[in-house]
Amino acid sequence: MADSWRVRLARALSAAPATRGEMIRMLRAAEGKGLVNADALAMIEGALSVADLQVRDIMVPRTGMVVVESDKRPEEFIAAVVESGHSRFPVIGDGRDDVEGILLAKDLLRYFALERRRDFDLRDAMRPAWFVPESKRLNVLLKEFQNSRNHMAIVVNEWGGLAGLVTIEDVIEQIVGEIDDEHDIDEESFFEQVKPGEFVVKALMPVEDFNAEFETAFDEDEFDTVGGIVVKAFGYLPERGEELNLGHLRFSVLRADRRRVHLFRVLAGG
């Protein structure tokens, strides 16, 4: 009987590597010999990387957070909740740094089901907020997410101010790769219209196609993709939530990692 892949992998790794770098090189060699498939190798490397990354490396910065103000009635913020497509929202009090709790979108169903809506108190509906420092290692954070059964943490800087937020999905994506979410576009398309004047656009959309669709005149010789155009305009690799105007369009970064931008929200008339 042919050896199982586990036996073959064990043989390939029989000489224990002295460093993590050596181990990764051996795993890549095993992948080249067909002992480990590419997806498994990517997950192993992702799992190893979380020990080197900190919360600040993957968090949504405070400028990109969608929040709910505790003194507002649901009618005043429900549009923002629906538009964002998120399931959890930090609830803030007197200032942006004053996070009082977390509101789950599903808990708003109870409000709209009440006949006497004036009896609804947002503070009774929200869940306790969990705070973590931006320096926390991702492997430690993942274990804490599992133990606490929380799905979102509020990130604070060394002075105790609000730095951003991080979700368990953000950490898992470092291991398994991107997880489909409300912003994902059909693989065969470069953009999708969300509503009149608002689009989700892949950073890999060719500049020529973007110019044709959005009536822009970006230089088609300098960059191949619209992502290159936007990153140059920023002057650095932007993080999720950062925004800028280019001509009549407003670009907001929906998804990015430490290497490149993946998705933009594009608003006409920016």
Token reading at 65: 């957070």
Q: How confident is the model at residue 86 (pLDDT cuts 50, 70, 90)?
A: confident
Q: Which of 41-50, 129-138, 189-198, 232-241 has the lowest mean pLDDT?
A: 41-50
How much is the pLDDT for 185? 53
Strand ranges, E, within the chain: 60-61, 68-69, 88-92, 99-104, 131-133, 152-156, 162-167, 191-195, 198-202, 243-246, 249-256, 261-268
Crossing angle for the helix pair 5-12 and 20-32, to the nearest 10 degrees: 130
Q: Assess contact for 201 and 190: CB atoms under 8 A.
A: yes
How much is the pLDDT for 114? 67
How much is the pLDDT for 203? 87
In the chain, domain spans? 5-49, 56-176, 191-268
Rounded to an integer, what distance in angstroms lies between the CA atom of residue 129 and that of residue 154?
7
The predicted-structure confidence for 202-243, as pLDDT tens digits, reads as follows 888 899 999 999 989 898 888 888 988 998 899 888 887 888
Task: Indicate whether 186 pLDDT > 60.
Answer: no
How much is the pLDDT for 59? 86
Task: Indicate whether 249 pLDDT > 90.
Answer: yes
∠ CA 37-45-141, rounded to 5°: 135
**Distance, C-alpha 83 to centroid of its chain:** 16
How much is the pLDDT for 33? 77
**Distance, C-alpha 96 to centroid of its chain:** 21
* Mean pLDDT over the full length of the chain: 81
The predicted-structure confidence for 131-156, as pLDDT tens digits, reads as follows 999 999 998 999 999 898 889 999 99
**Mean pLDDT on 156-182:** 80
The predicted-structure confidence for 66-85, as pLDDT tens digits, reads as follows 888 988 888 888 877 876 77
What kind of fold does domain 56-176 have according to CATH?
Answer: CBS-domain (3.10.580)
**Mean pLDDT on 13-38:** 73
**Mean pLDDT on 5-24:** 67
Task: Indicate whether 31 pLDDT > 80.
Answer: no
Number of other residues whose CB lies within 10 A of the CB of residue 192: 14
Rounded to an integer, what distance in angstroms lies between the CA atom of residue 21 and that of residue 154?
33
Q: Mean pLDDT highest for which of 51-55, 94-98, 129-133, 185-189?
A: 129-133
More confident residue, 175 or 92: 92
Residues near 110 by Cβ (< 8 Å), separated by ≥ 6?
120, 125
**Mean pLDDT on 42-62:** 80
Task: Indicate whether 44 pLDDT > 70.
Answer: yes
**Mean pLDDT on 150-176:** 88
Task: Indicate whether 115 pLDDT > 70.
Answer: no
Q: How confident is the model at residue 16 (pLDDT cuts 50, 70, 90)?
A: low
Written as one letter, the residue type at 5 is W
What kind of fold does domain 191-268 have according to CATH?
Answer: 3.30.465
More confident residue, 119 or 106: 106
More confident residue, 13 or 122: 122
